[in-house]
Amino acid sequence: MEHIKKYIQEHKDRFVEELMDLLRIPSISADPAYSQDVNACAESVKDHLVKAGADKVEICPTKGYPIVYGEKIIDPQLPTVLVYGHYDVQPADPLELWESGPFEPVIKTTDIHPDGAIFARGACDDKGQMFMHVKAFELMMQTNSLACNVKFMIEGEEEVGSDNLGDFVKANKTRLKCDAILISDTGIIANDTPSITTGLKGLSYVEVEVTGPNRDLHSGLYGGAVANPINILCEMIASMKDENNHISIPGFYDKVVDLSSQERADMARAPFSLEHYKKALDLSDVHGEEGYTTMERTGIRPTLDVNGIWGGYTGEGAKTVIASKAFAKISMRLVPNQNDEEITKLFEDHFKAIAPKSVKVEVRPHHGGEPYVAPTDSPAYLSASTAMEATYGKKPVPVRSGGSIPIVALFEKELGVKSILMGFGLDSDAIHSPNEHYGLFNYFKGIETIPHFFAKFRELNQ
């Protein structure tokens, strides 16, 4: 497969420039102020697919942001790979923590990326990884080596819960018919330790509101005599985990699938250094559910975390006040076979049950999603494994991730097809954080690996 390396070598600079142009578009799906940019980004993805040689390229409108579709059917007898990715990005705040503009991509080297990394919002999640597929497709078209039929479905609402993708999938089952769904929106353990993501967490996300007195009060005149909603909210949140960091919502663990000791032993074989993990995060110690390793806590155990909490006076100086209201955003990451709607209901019932009579509480559910696990003996997994082994010189290890891509479970339900999560990012790439970046090594390695996947997948399906 020398043609792959040769083509990448010859077109390297352009591949980087094109990605940087895409990264200049602030396609933040969460903030309506950027709606023109999100739509412009869809146009740009469409143009790139057309130029790379895709047919029937179309911007498919939805109630929200559009889905970009394109395909190349070389032979109906051959297997078809559906590539999914997203062109929308997370908001860039807090802006003051960025060393360069989030939408002004620059290349810098880091300890982990001695060959350089592109710094910009979306560099890794997911523009950089999605674009690897467009460039790998271009490469296969230009070198006459496209081994399977390919379909592209690139959405613009992943970071806000993919609200409209479900309808699109349900309405386009024939158009989306395929033998495997290939997604690069996850990561590997390290650049010398390739891995394939075999699990994604589900998500239940709620916002809670605790109301005490009907107005903000003088904290001396009323303090100690009425419920302070901020204090109460903190107590309620604290009570949701016991001394072993086990979540105390009744029924929360009822459907959790426990792993066998064999499966846990297999998991423990994936390379992981607690020392490096702590060092990378400036932590003296880790923290989590008793009886489980760090990899198990993130990979196979459900979790509950406050994502934001506010209320009262947070401005300059001191203001002596008891707030009328307190708020928090809380996420629960779920594992097989927990169902997000059931968990949200359990949370809501529990939160109401533990609220003292001195406050009123409200629970508002946000988007959710179901967990996903992938087999390691499917043709798609074997193709990804073979492809990575060819380009990294090492067989990748299966890893269950703590992240969520809720639409993957829906693909399985609606299309009856499993997804293969062949991502190339690193945990240290700071996705969703200031100074997000994507290594050039990772970008080119992805472009190189994808054609190997196609070749092996064709071979295994003949």
Using CB under 6 A as the criterion, which residues of the chain lie in contact with ligand BES when the complex forms?
125-126, 158-159, 161, 185-187, 203, 367, 369, 401, 403-406
Choosing among ligand BES, Mn ion, none, which partner's interface includes residue 401 (Cβ < 5 to 8 Å by kind)?
ligand BES
Nearest distance from residue 82's CB to ligand BES, in Å? 17
The two three-digit tokens of residue 80, written as one number? 């078809």
Q: Which residues on adjacent β-strands are paired with residue 202?
A: 334
Distance CA 92, CA 435 (A): 9
Nearest distance from residue 27's CB to Mn ion, in Å? 12
Choosing among ligand BES, Mn ion, none, which partner's interface includes residue 302 (Cβ < 5 to 8 Å by kind)?
none
The two three-digit tokens of residue 263, written as one number? 């499966």
Nearest distance from residue 406's CB to ligand BES, in Å? 5
Which residue's CB comes closest to ligand BES? 403
Secondary structure of residue 36 in the 3-state scheme: helix
Nearest distance from residue 405's CB to Mn ion, in Å? 7
Residue 393 CB partners (closer than 8 Å, separation 6+): none
**Residues that bind Mn ion in the complex, under the rule CB under 5 A:** 125-126, 185
> Exposed e or buried b for every residue in 451-460, given b needs 16+ CB within 10 A?
bbbbbbbbee
Beta strand segments in 28-79, E: 55-60, 67-72
Q: Which helix (H) or strand (E) holds 151?
A: strand 149-155
Nearest CB to ligand BES, comparing residues 397 and 405: 405
Nearest CB to ligand BES, comparing residues 26 and 311: 26
Nearest distance from residue 86's CB to ligand BES, in Å? 7
Distance CA 45, CA 380 (A): 25
Distance CA 377, CA 201 (A): 21
Beta strand segments in 179-280, E: 180-183, 195-200, 202-211, 217-218
Answer yes or no: are the C-beta atoms of 330 and 221 closer than 8 Å: no
Name the residue with tokens 């349900």: 170
Nearest CB to Mn ion, comparing residues 386 and 404: 404
Name the residue with tokens 């109460």: 232
Nearest distance from residue 457's CB to ligand BES, in Å? 22
Answer yes or no: are the C-beta atoms of 394 and 194 closer than 8 Å: yes
Nearest CB to Mn ion, comparing residues 165 and 230: 165
Nearest CB to Mn ion, comparing residues 185 and 348: 185
Nearest CB to Mn ion, comparing residues 37 and 185: 185
Nearest distance from residue 69's CB to Mn ion, in Å? 19
Nearest CB to ligand BES, comparing residues 7 and 152: 152
Nearest distance from residue 196's CB to Mn ion, in Å? 16
Answer yes or no: are the C-beta atoms of 51 and 67 closer than 8 Å: no
Q: In what order do the strands lie in the sheet with 106-108?
A: 106-108, 117-119, 437-439
Choosing among Mn ion, ligand BES, none, which partner's interface includes residue 371 (Cβ < 5 to 8 Å by kind)?
none
Choosing among Mn ion, ligand BES, none, which partner's interface includes residue 403 (Cβ < 5 to 8 Å by kind)?
ligand BES
Nearest CB to Mn ion, comparing residues 379 and 439: 439
